[in-house]
Amino acid sequence: KQEVTQIPAALSVPEGENLVLNCSFTDSAIYNLQWFRQDPGKGLTSLLLIQSSQREQTSGRLNASLDKSSGRSTLYIAASQPGDSATYLCAVRPVQGAQKLVFGQGTRLTINP
Amino acid sequence: GAGVSQSPSNKVTEKGKDVELRCDPISGHTALYWYRQSLGQGLEFLIYFQGNSAPDKSGLPSDRFSAERTGGSVSTLTIQRTQQEDSAVYLCASSLAQGVNSPLHFGNGTRLTVT
């Protein structure tokens, strides 16, 4: 059974710092991994999707990497801003049962001005 | 353009009542998903619709839960005889195609509270 873990559960850093969020998964048989952010009381906003054949994806100050063989992904946020404060979730789309994305519990990020 | 729209945004109901939650996906998106997010829990898959194919209902937690998708667009999730453990945020998502690399786009969810 695929399991997705995100560490740490919460992270607080001062504005301007670069930071890394971690995501690990137990079964490397995936089609892709997707990073989302969730603001309080809101749905999920898709940030980046990395296909299993890719190593990384970039969007603005965000860079996501994928090491499928070791079951790890990182989300790098450069020059953090208070507006980056949110919960960040990663989700894998498994090869078996591809319609059922498996989510981690999320990392709650706070950027302090 | 418009994103995924869910209604109501909040619903408070008494234990034992039935509720209906609505999801209007992004126009042209053929795949539609329902997930549940409980306090302190991750997102739990409930049901998946793709075009005219039979839905994958394998995530529905009990026979009190059902969902339909009319005309390949709007979907309704129905919970009968609600229980307190049904309290959660119900999230709907859609994606452009059945291709596995199509990203999911989520609505803002319906927060259900069963008293």
> What's the average pLDDT block by block, 10 residues per block, for chain B (115 residues)?
90 98 94 91 91 90 95 92 96 84 91 97
| A49 interaction partners in chain B (CB closer than 8 Å) | 101, 103
User: pLDDT tens digits, residue range A10-64?
Assistant: 999 999 999 999 999 999 999 999 999 999 888 999 999 999 999 999 999 999 9
Cβ pairs bridging A and B (under 8 Å):
57
CA gap A15, B24 in Å, rounded:
37
| DSSP string computed for B45-92 | EEEEEETTSPPB-TT--STTEEEEEGGGS-EEEEE-S--GGG-EEEEE
What pLDDT score does B1 carry?
54
CA gap B75, B30 in Å, rounded:
12
For B104, the closest chain A residue by CA position comes to: A46
- Residues of A near B (Cβ–Cβ under 8 Å) read 4, 31-32, 34, 36, 41-46, 49, 51, 89, 91, 93, 98-101, 103-106
Within chain A, how many helices (H) and strands (E) appear? 0, 11
Check: CB of residue A91 under 8 Å from CB of residue A30.
Answer: no
| B55 at A interface, C-beta within 8 A | no
Indicate yes or no: CB of A43 within 8 angstroms of CB of B108: yes
Closest CB from B42, B45, B106 relative to A43: B106
What pLDDT score does B101 carry?
84
DSSP conformation class of B25: P
CA gap B93, B52 in Å, rounded:
17
Rounded to the nearest 10 degrees, how much is the dihedral formed by the CA atoms of B88, A40, A87, B113?
A: -10
Question: How confident is the prediction for chain A on average, in pLDDT?
Answer: 95
| B109 interaction partners in chain A (CB closer than 8 Å) | 42-43
Indicate yes or no: CB of A100 within 8 angstroms of CB of B93: no
For A43, the closest chain B residue by CA position comes to: B108
- A79 — pLDDT class (breaks 50, 70, 90): very high
How many C-beta atoms surround the C-beta of residue A102 within 10 A? 21
